[in-house]
Chains A and B, each alone.
Chain A
């Protein structure tokens, strides 16, 4: 099934970059040189990705503050706009106007490069994230591996930030981040192998297509009738992404109460906000990946309804709404967990990663493959 579909995808230049390029070719005046076209296309594409990241980060910080507030029986921000929804803009203006400080004795080039590297890696990963079935920047066969690889490079930026800050707190934070990512990258990758095995593809679009049908709900990979090892695999995946995105209870690199702000202790102003943007964008991205591989991706009753009308634009909008809603649901779940659980110790983090998640992920892969090979062919609904 997947091969002809993929060939069709290659044949039809549906990617957003191509669409933008086509549009620009249509409206290009004669005096503009030809080489300016791909440059403009690239700039617009990057602009879209940056806009997505900033919007996610802004809404994420607002949502975080509201959720944390209400969990603690407070209101959270209430002053700027209706229920404080403009608060992120006020914060952004404040951060832009803040003094950009570089500590004495800091390794200046690395110190300045670190936030950019952190943000650039998440921007690169955004290229693989399809916003709608016909709106994506890169349709890569190894889509999920690209995302995992690029989001892992944020670790380099974090270690760089911690090392170059000339601060012990920062260094501790960076070391913890390195240890944590090394420990949790393994169960993250392995637990994702379970849906990959069921889908038979690393490509996000194909994984989403594989879950079509069943009123947009019944064929999600998470259901035990698809594969009973999918539920445990999702749990492992979710714990691993909490650690990967440095979220509580695994926020040891930040560890506000012991390390002040960990690797970003010395950063201020807009450079500091880059780390924050990266954190929320990475959270959103991982949640979207989780919904692609476990919760149906673009498939939902809404998308099924839109598909029934057979209007192309409607299907795209419904799919985009579905995936964004699923991403934010994951974001909310992560926030809920953050304000529920206390931070674990570094040795507990390592124990959980190496002694529990990794073997369990391997067991899940083993069980899922046995199920796929021996049972799935005889199941009437598969």
Chain B
């Protein structure tokens, strides 16, 4: 036992002063009597008033005790407890959901083994519990007894996120290097590579589980405006046998397509569904089922299925009429005078024809024949008629599938080289099409106006236009998708996210959303109540390989020896609780006594 702040004991000096204040502050009950004459005679006998001897009743001793406890709390009295805590590291990653041959999941098996081991430990040792996923971290506050730790462990469940191998290894290395831990119990799927630090007791529940899983499930729209979607899945067979798998795709609960795939041991294959009917949420299911059900299902949502909102800003808004003929596009027109940046809040992309915005727009934008020398883009233009195309990039999404020799540009302007935009199509007098990225957004500038030529009469121009719009709308690209355990930025306007479990989380746009431990479809809700689904899937196929798990390699250092340590356990909080309880008790008793006196008098 000792004092964290021995200087606090100086306050014992003021205890007599406080006792005096106690005597002075006591306010007597006021009672009307027939005559005070007889009481006057008692004054000579009083001993309780300030300056006299204190009346040594229970209140006096109680308050003196409270004062002494307060001084001890200020001085920070502590007791020393032997503190070589026990660390328990539990692998709670998605792989721990796999069922073992005993019928239990890996996680249940690991918990049972850890619990049995803790039951044999000294009950008074503090226990630190760590979990490995989605990021390795300590679970809860340190538990002061084994019983508390066992109760906490019983409430743990595996999540749908994978382990980050390097992070888990780093954490294990750190706690193994700390001298304070007496023992480290690890229970998980991965085994340890020799040499294993002596204080680590590893419980490996990573028996090989033959498994097959879906690695990725992506959708893309082959062409801008096309209704049908192209789905691509990767399937891995991590077993020792060749198998034939079947993948079924359903959209909004209705089966849309089905395909079979034969894969050899350890082989990975791809399944494609080139023309899936539009739906809000797609679900892929792999059969036959196996002992790790999580990766047999994958979800996808087609953002392009919804209409693409476009803001068209032009002094001649009628030029946008041709865009309306493209399926899945909704166009809002503005003149340069009526346009405000707020118009872009609900737009996926903007088109500025013969004009440019005053600030860099917060959405992907197409600039058609922009004026020269604007402060934002600072284009340099040279008017010309007709325009001659001299060259183009062959491997560019903007120039894909276009026969530029058939493109006949009657009039327009050449664009000089821009600081942050590069030429995709060039002419004799300069660039005819530029593209670049700034502020996280894509920008395309053209020296000609494609809109009057949309349609079958000028097929190259139509393809070029659709390429540009598709590039700016982010379509036609394979999306990596969202993965469990990987936070993402909350999109603009989203105020609430509804998890697959149905629970709701309030969000702030622009901040990281970290509650991504479940596989499934999350609904992103905006302030006006509209919802956008977002599919979150398990990570890539490396997680599905439950047969060839990598081993942890712990680099031990000299500090690995257990150093006997004592922990100073402060009693200040206990003392404060005791003080509050005593004062409450005194107040209650004093109040009741006062009421009784007044009632009886």
Whether both chains belong to one complex is answered with: no
Give the interface of A toward B (CB within 8 A).
Answer: none
